[in-house]
Amino acid sequence: MDDQDWLAERFEANRSHLRGVAFRMLGSVSEADDAVQEAWIRLSRTDTSDVDNLRAWLTTVVGRVCLNILRSPAPPGRARCTAGSPRSC
């Protein structure tokens, strides 16, 4: 098994955790999936030899991606849900 396969296996083992973190931050399944996919892209482009705790590293990346999504303007025709938004968001 090469390094990329090992990373993919470790990522998949953490996917449900990462998706849960992203969903709790974003409140949207599709945006949570986008954040998790972005985390995979970042992981696949990173030298992980200095990463001691991959789950913590991935959780940090997903959190930062979610914050970036929340800071960005909502896509046209779609309101971004915030803390004061109605439950229908």
Contact, 35 vs 65, CB < 8 A?
yes
Distance CA 17, CA 12 (A): 10
Domains of the chain are 3-71 (1.10.1740.10)
Distance CA 52, CA 58 (A): 11
81: Cα separation from own chain's centroid: 17
Per-residue pLDDT of the chain (89 residues; tens, 9 = 90+): 788 899 999 999 999 999 999 999 999 999 999 999 999 999 999 999 999 999 999 999 999 999 999 999 877 766 666 555 554 45
Contact, 51 vs 57, CB < 8 A?
yes
pTM: 0.81
Residue 2, SS3 per DSSP: coil
